[in-house]
Amino acid sequence: MDKILTLGIETSCDETAAAVLRGGREILSNVISTQIPLHQKFGGVVPEIASRKHIVNIMPVIDEAISRAGVDLRDINQIAVTFGPGLAGALLVGLSAAKSLAFALKIPLIAVNHLEGHIFANFLSAPELEPPFLSLVVSGGHTALIRMTDYNSFELLGQSRDDAAGEAFDKIARVMGLPYPGGPEIDKLAKLGDANAINFPHPKVDGYDFSFSGLKSAVLNFLNTAQMKSEAINLADVAASFQKTVVDTLAEKTLAAAEEFKLNKIVLAGGVAANSSLEKTLRAACNLRGLEFYYPTKILCTDNAAMIACRGYYQKTFADSTLNAVPNLGL
């Protein structure tokens, strides 16, 4: 059995995370220290606060990951760290820790793309999963359809031209007075509403690209108009109708791409993959068409370091001490 131990480190946004993986798919530990309560009072992530908090948390989180894995730091064979995309100052904290440890332990360093990491979370939830497949990556910063033909080949079929799906969830939630992050709050509220109550415009974009800014404006206009006319608003209906429009758009493009590229596995990834309606809709559509459907367990959907370690394990290319953060890194 493959006994390679990979230490994963993730600090791209508001979670300080470290994990130990044995081989490619066995999680020995997965520690996540979230800063969400800290940023909540500002209604979103404050980059400076995020970096400062990562500095305080990073070594204790790494220590915790090593100790929960029941290994010694000297047993670690390689370190995988997120180098982008993300907040520059936040990324640099994880990178500095990873570079220093790799240098001190004389072990290889692997530079991991955070978006690829989200896709790889699926290999941890479903050990039997193998490429090729179609992946829908939906996070706070990205919405993309990616064809993965093997572990190191990613073809971007389309992406959002403006807001990411998660960003739209967070902005609408904020206007509705819900706490950050808004995605899980809208998900919860939508369960109490009627998804067909309000007919929000379906975004119309060619090919496999997405756009959510028009929909976001339509929801904001709806809320403002109702407020100006002092009309009662059923927020649960707004949440459910907005969520349905996003989910239908995502599902429609994903299924069309699967058909065109003749891919029979659909793999959901990123924080918005935790959305119950998106999961249910895609699962039902896949069942109907005889497609296999994969999505990570909840804890692996949002930011974590196990997915970074997993991506690093399969990457097989190494970085050196000149590695820098790339905040706008694409696929």
What is the C-alpha separation between 99 and 284, in angstroms, rounded? 44
9/17 Cα distance (integer angstroms): 6
- Ranges of H-type helices in the chain: 36-40, 47-69, 88-105, 114-125, 165-175, 182-190, 213-228, 235-260, 276-289, 298-301, 306-315
Binding mask 202-241 for ligand KG4 (x = CB under 6 A): ----------------------------------------
Handedness of CA 244, 245, 251, 252 (dihedral sign): positive
> Does residue 163 touch ligand KG4 according to CB under 6 A?
no
Q: What is the CA radius of gyration of the chain?
A: 20
Is residue 182 within the footprint of ligand KG4 (CB under 6 A)?
Answer: yes
Q: By C-beta, is 166 or 193 nearer to ligand KG4?
A: 166
For residue 331, the one-letter residue type is L
Q: Which is nearer to Zn ion, 76 or 90 (CB)?
A: 90
Per CB under 5 A, the segment of 49-57, 70-78, 202-210, 297-305 that binds Zn ion is 297-305
Please tell me the distance from the alpha carbon of residue 109 to that of residue 95, in angstroms, as a whole number: 10
| 51 burial via Cβ count (<10 Å: 0-12, 13-18, 19+) | middle
Contact of 23 with 6, CB cutoff 8 Å? no
Minimum CB distance to ligand KG4, residue 76 (Å): 25
Any contact of residue 122 with Zn ion (CB under 5 A)? no
Evaluate the CA torsion angle 170, 176, 178, 184 in order and state its sign.
negative
Report if residue 82 touches ligand KG4, rule: CB under 6 A.
no
Which of the ranges 101-109, 131-139, 168-176, 251-259 carries the binding residues for Zn ion, by CB under 5 A? 131-139
131, interface contact from ligand KG4, Zn ion, none, CB < 5-8 Å by kind: none
Give yes or no for residue 270 binding ligand KG4 (CB under 6 A): yes
Q: Which residues contact 100 (CB under 8 A, 6 or more apart)?
A: none
Interaction between residue 183 and ligand KG4 (CB under 6 A): yes
How far apart (Å, rounded) are the C-alpha atoms in residues 118 and 120? Answer: 5
**Residues in contact with ligand KG4, shown as a per-residue x/- string from 132 to 151 under the rule CB under 6 A:** -------xxx----------
139 lies in the binding site for Zn ion (CB under 5 A):
yes
What count of residues does the chain have?
331
Q: Is 303 in the site for ligand KG4 (CB under 6 A)?
A: yes
Q: Find the shortest distance in angstroms from Cβ 246 to ligand KG4.
A: 8
Site for Zn ion contains 303 (CB under 5 A): yes
274 binds ligand KG4, rule: CB under 6 A: yes
Query: What does the binding site for Zn ion look like in residue numbers (CB under 5 A)?
Result: 139, 303
Query: By the criterion CB under 6 A, which residues form the site for ligand KG4?
Result: 13, 118, 139-141, 166, 169-170, 181-184, 187, 270-272, 274-275, 302-303
